[in-house]
Amino acid sequence: MKWEDRGRSPNLDDRRARGGAGRGLGGGAIPLGIGGIVLLFALSAITGIDLLSLFGLGGAPTSAPPSQQELQAEEEQVRFVSFVLDDVQGFWQETFVQSGIDYPASTLVLYRDAVESGCGVAPAATGPFYCPTDLNVYLDLSFYDQLRSRYGAPGDFAQAYVLAHELGHHVQNALGTLAMSQRSQQTQPGSANQLSVATELQADCYAGVWAASAAARGIMEVGDLEEGLNAAAAVGDDTLAQRTGRIPNQETFTHGSAEQRSRWFHTGYETGDPNACDTFAQGF
Ligand SMILES: [Zn+2]
Residues composing the chain? 284
- Find the 211 Cα to ligand 1 centroid distance in Å: 17
Q: How does 154-170 read in b/e, with b if 16+ C-beta sit within 10 Å?
A: bbbbbbbbbbbbbbbbb
Selection from 168, 235, 162 nearest residue 203 by Cα:
168
Alpha-carbon span 91 to 79, nearest angstrom = 18
Q: What is the pLDDT of residue 282?
A: 67
Q: What is the pLDDT of residue 55?
A: 43
Inter-CA distances, 172 with 93, 107, 177, Å: 13, 15, 5
- Find the 237 Cα to ligand 1 centroid distance in Å: 12
Alpha-carbon span 40 to 48, nearest angstrom = 12
- Find the 119 Cα to ligand 1 centroid distance in Å: 14
- Find the 60 Cα to ligand 1 centroid distance in Å: 24
Neighbours of 280 (CB within 10 A): 17
Q: What is the pLDDT of residue 124?
A: 84
Higher pLDDT, 27 or 276: 276
Q: How does 126-140 read in b/e, with b if 16+ C-beta sit within 10 Å?
A: bbbbbbbeeebbbbb
Q: What is the pLDDT of residue 50?
A: 55
- Find the 68 Cα to ligand 1 centroid distance in Å: 32
262 pLDDT above the threshold of 80: yes
For helices 156-175 and 224-234, angle between their N-to-C axes, nearest 10 degrees? 70
Alpha-carbon span 59 to 70, nearest angstrom = 25
- Find the 11 Cα to ligand 1 centroid distance in Å: 20
- Find the 164 Cα to ligand 1 centroid distance in Å: 10
Confidence of residue 284 (pLDDT cuts 50, 70, 90): confident
Report the Cα–Cα distance between both ends of the chain, in Å, rounded.
Answer: 29
Selection from 104, 122, 118 nearest residue 173 by Cα:
104
Q: What is the mean pLDDT of residues 80-93?
A: 98
- Find the 266 Cα to ligand 1 centroid distance in Å: 16
- Find the 168 Cα to ligand 1 centroid distance in Å: 8
Alpha-carbon span 6 to 257, nearest angstrom = 36
pLDDT tens digits, 123-170 = 888 889 999 999 999 999 999 999 999 999 999 999 999 999 999 999
Mean pLDDT of the chain: 87
55-64, 84-93, 256-265: which range is least confident on average?
A: 55-64
Q: What is the pLDDT of residue 49?
A: 63
- Find the 213 Cα to ligand 1 centroid distance in Å: 20
pLDDT tens digits, 170-200 = 999 999 999 999 899 899 999 999 999 999 9
Task: Give kind and range of the element (H or E) at residue 139.
Answer: strand 136-140
- Find the 203 Cα to ligand 1 centroid distance in Å: 6
Q: What is the pLDDT of residue 97?
A: 96
Q: By percentage, how much of the chain surpasses pLDDT 90?
A: 68
- Find the 165 Cα to ligand 1 centroid distance in Å: 6
Q: What is the pLDDT of residue 243?
A: 84
- Find the 43 Cα to ligand 1 centroid distance in Å: 6
